[in-house]
């Protein structure tokens, strides 16, 4: 059976294509972020799995939560989460920003997910939606893990080479993992480049055992 990320892809593409064509990319992104956070809650996830609860009730619950806790005038915890979340800071630097209630099109999208019992895919839908948005802006996130912290020269070299090969501006997210021994691993979307010493040793071991 396909994994959740694979199942989420077509829904994310359909959502982004509609939002992009109708100029509501940020509105849909905001909703998908909050909805994915709600779905990741263990108790809510269990509630979604309850066959005694109708699909209509499940979708309306998500929409009502957003409309009351985010689109409402009160400064709720959900609204605070949205304004402070990584990736939304550039959208929400103004603390007085207002969020519209869920549109009929977005409501229909959530309803379709519910009818197909796919609401648990929302975290994956959100992640893929974000990638579609970044690609449309010609900006990609690259997650670089190295055995030692990058120098400014190494950082610039990696960013320049990735930008040239991907034909997009690249935002680097750096982390350090000493177990790599040397070299680096780079993850962009679903693609992983393993140029670490640990990876090369593992590859050699595999070849010797073949």
Q: How far apart are CA 59 and CA 118, in angstroms?
A: 10
Q: How far apart are CA 74 and CA 180, in angstroms?
A: 48
As a three-state string, the secondary structure of 42-63 is HHHHHHHCCCCCCHHHHHHHHH
**Every domain of the chain and the residues it spans:** 4-134, 138-209
Amino acid 105: pLDDT: 95
Q: What pTM value is reported for the model?
A: 0.62
Q: How far apart are CA 1 and CA 153, in angstroms?
A: 44
Beta-strand runs (E) in the chain: 139-146, 169-176, 184-188, 191-194
Q: How far apart are CA 81 and CA 94, in angstroms?
A: 14
CATH dotted code for 4-134: 1.10.520.20
Amino acid 134: pLDDT: 80
Amino acid 141: pLDDT: 83
Mean pLDDT, the chain cut into blocks of 10 residues (210 residues total): 79 94 91 93 91 94 91 77 57 58 95 94 94 81 87 88 81 86 83 75 63
> Quick check: do 4-134 and 138-209 share a fold?
no
* 27 and 82 Cβ atoms separated by less than 8 Å: no
Candidates 85, 56, 57; CA nearest to 70 is 85
Amino acid 2: pLDDT: 57
Q: Give the end-to-end CA distance of the chain in Å, rounded to a whole number.
A: 28
CATH class of 138-209: alpha beta
């Amino acid at each position: 059976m396909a994994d959740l990320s694979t199942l989420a892809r077509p829904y994310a593409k359909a959502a982004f294509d509609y939002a992009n064509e109708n100029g509501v990319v940020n509105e849909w992104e905001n909703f998908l972020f909050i909805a994915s956070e709600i779905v990741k809650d263990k108790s809510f996830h269990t509630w979604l799995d309850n066959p005694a609860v109708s699909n209509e009730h499940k979708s309306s619950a998500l929409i009502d939560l957003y409309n009351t806790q985010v689109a409402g005038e009160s400064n709720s915890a959900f609204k605070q989460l949205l304004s402070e979340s990584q990736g939304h800071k550039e959208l929400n630097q103004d603390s007085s920003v207002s969020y519209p209630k869920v549109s009929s099109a977005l409501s229909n999208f959530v309803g379709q997910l519910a009818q197909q019992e796919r609401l648990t895919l929302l975290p994956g839908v959100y992640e893929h939606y974000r990638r579609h948005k970044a690609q449309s802006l010609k900006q990609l996130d690259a997650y670089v893990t190295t055995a030692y912290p990058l120098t400014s020269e190494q950082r610039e070299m990696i960013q320049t080479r990735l930008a040239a090969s991907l034909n997009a501006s690249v935002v680097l997210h750096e982390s350090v993992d000493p177990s790599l021994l040397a070299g680096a691993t780079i993850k962009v979307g679903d693609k992983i480049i393993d140029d670490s010493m640990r990876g090369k040793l593992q590859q050699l071991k595999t070849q010797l055992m073949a």
